[in-house]
Amino acid sequence: MAIRNLLFEHREIAGIEEMDVYEKLGGYEGLRRAVTLERQAVIDEIKTSGLRGRGGAGFPTWIKWNGIPKNTDKPHYLICNADEGETGTYKDRELMLKLPHLLVEGMVIAGYACLGTAGYIYIRGEYVEPAWQIRKAIDQAYKKGYLGKNILGIEGFNYDLYVHMGAGSYECGEESALMSSLMGERGNPRLKAPHAPLPVHEGVWKSPTLVNNVETYCAATWILKNGGAEYAKLGTERSKGTKIISVSGHIAKPANYEVEMGTPLLELLKAGGVTGGKLKAVIPGGSSVPIMIADKLDKINLDYESCAASGTMLGSGGFMVFNDTTDIVLLMKRTSEFYMHESCGKCTPCREGTRWLFKILDRITSGGGREGDIELLLDICSQIDGRSYCGLGDAAAWPIVGAIKAFREEFEYWIEHKCSPIGDHAVPPTPVVVNPLLTLTPA
């Protein structure tokens, strides 16, 4: 089993969230090593490691870090995207709850490398407990002189770290919407490169801004402590290191598993253990990625390239397992309801399209399915995909296209027989429909 605990090395140790225990186990050595290097050498270390963004997109981290201009008099801001909202993902929650210093140290290292003025950790509003651990860790780091003025005695290395709490919006996990939200606005996304400047040139308050995921900063800490080459020894040719996979669903041991990139998907399933029936499907990277049918899983490895080659994505690592009591159509209805609720409403294809996807799936699962509904769903999906400012619309369309591809006969069964192919064990439909505007009467 290719479980490799790098970030999670000390997660079972009692009191690891406190400064003294963390330091005793080699904490802040990464930062101490980083400040002995030139700033560019720190970025090169990240480059050597081959670390890619762990939030879902898998963009090479060093390119972002390197992109921050070195000769502006503008302040530089660093943001940690801890607005974890992807269905099925709870890795950032555990990282912040148990290993808050790993994140704080990573952000100070990035602050050193990118000449940061201030860092903001944007945490979703629901995560009060993890945020409290981060608060404690930041306060302890200030006391120890890892934050504040002239950090570690280096003249001019001034860097502050703040917590910013969200207030309930999935959309704010998207980079540009997160920046809007941090500036005190509605969480709407903005136009992106190449039509607008990159955040590393013009992000929050028109200043260079670095946005990375919690896991990415934590990995940077490990890399600076142990060396980029050490990290690059793990993984595949293009996906280096480890990835934390949050396993949930019909599984005996749901937990966060840190696995080496390239681990066969089935090995992870074996470690978790499917419960309550035969394995039917797996969503490997959060609700936004296409669902995979059980008999095609043997070819998939957990790395960016292998997942993409199989027509799905590694995403944020929200690994959901479903056994044969799951009704895929009802599952997709619930998925589309999620995206309908979370669409910010800025772009028409996403705002209207997600609503129609839900309405049609709701009609099908209320026994009002019509011939041609499947084509209608696919048509709407193709009208949403790639036509809005951010990826939320795409993320709403992909799972449905994927589900129709893999489980078309279940959709057909629903439309023809007006009932679930699964029977009583399926996900029950939403119990009460409160708003009549959101339902279609079966025709």
Which residues in the 173-192 window bind another protein by CB under 8 A? 181-187
| Contact pick of 17, 45, 86, 410 for another protein (by CB under 8 A) | 86
Taking contact as CB under 8 A, which single stretch among the options 105-113, 226-234, 404-412, 431-439 is the one that binds another protein?
Answer: 431-439
Distance separating alpha carbons of residues 320 and 283, to the nearest angstrom:
5
CA dist 85 → 8, 42, 171 (Å): 21, 30, 8
- Closer residue to another protein, CB minimum distance, 39 or 356: 356
| Contact pick of 55, 56, 58, 88 for another protein (by CB under 8 A) | 88
Q: Is 248 in the site for another protein (CB under 8 A)?
A: yes
Residues 13-32 that bind another protein (CB under 8 A): none
**Nearest of 302, 206, 313 to residue 259 by alpha carbon:** 302
Residues 98-127 that bind another protein (CB under 8 A): 118, 120, 123-127
Q: Is 312 in the site for another protein (CB under 8 A)?
A: no
Q: Is 256 in the site for another protein (CB under 8 A)?
A: yes
> In the bound complex, what is the minimum distance in angstroms from residue 95's beta carbon to another protein?
12
Residues contacting 68, CB < 8 A, separation 6+: 76, 114, 115, 200, 208, 210
CB–CB of 217/107 below 8 Å?
A: yes
| Contact pick of 13, 63, 152, 163 for another protein (by CB under 8 A) | 163
Residues 323-342 that bind another protein (CB under 8 A): 326, 331, 334-335, 337-338, 341-342
Q: Is 387 in the site for another protein (CB under 8 A)?
A: no
| Contact pick of 142, 267, 356, 383 for another protein (by CB under 8 A) | 142
| Contact pick of 28, 62, 159, 170 for another protein (by CB under 8 A) | 170
Residues 270-309 that bind another protein (CB under 8 A): 283, 287
Q: How many residues bind another protein (CB under 8 A)?
A: 79
| Contact pick of 50, 166, 199, 369 for another protein (by CB under 8 A) | 166
Q: Characterise 126 by phi-psi region: left (phi > 0), alpha (psi -120 to 50), beta (else).
A: alpha
> In the bound complex, what is the minimum distance in angstroms from residue 292's beta carbon to another protein?
14
**Nearest of 240, 327, 244, 249 to residue 287 by alpha carbon:** 249
Q: Which helix (H) or strand (E) holds 132?
A: helix 128-144
Q: Is 402 in the site for another protein (CB under 8 A)?
A: no
Q: Is 355 in the site for another protein (CB under 8 A)?
A: no
Q: Which helix (H) or strand (E) holds 242?
A: strand 242-249
CB–CB of 306/268 below 8 Å?
A: no
Query: What is the Cα Rg of the chain in Å?
Result: 22
Q: Is 90 in the site for another protein (CB under 8 A)?
A: yes
Q: Is 249 in the site for another protein (CB under 8 A)?
A: yes
- Closer residue to another protein, CB minimum distance, 234 or 427: 427
Chain-centroid distance, C-alpha 89: 7
Q: Is 422 in the site for another protein (CB under 8 A)?
A: no
> In the bound complex, what is the minimum distance in angstroms from residue 139's beta carbon to another protein?
5
- Using DSSP's 3-state secondary structure scheme, residue 249 falls into strand
Distance separating alpha carbons of residues 297 and 294, to the nearest angstrom:
6
**Nearest of 228, 220, 175, 221 to residue 55 by alpha carbon:** 175
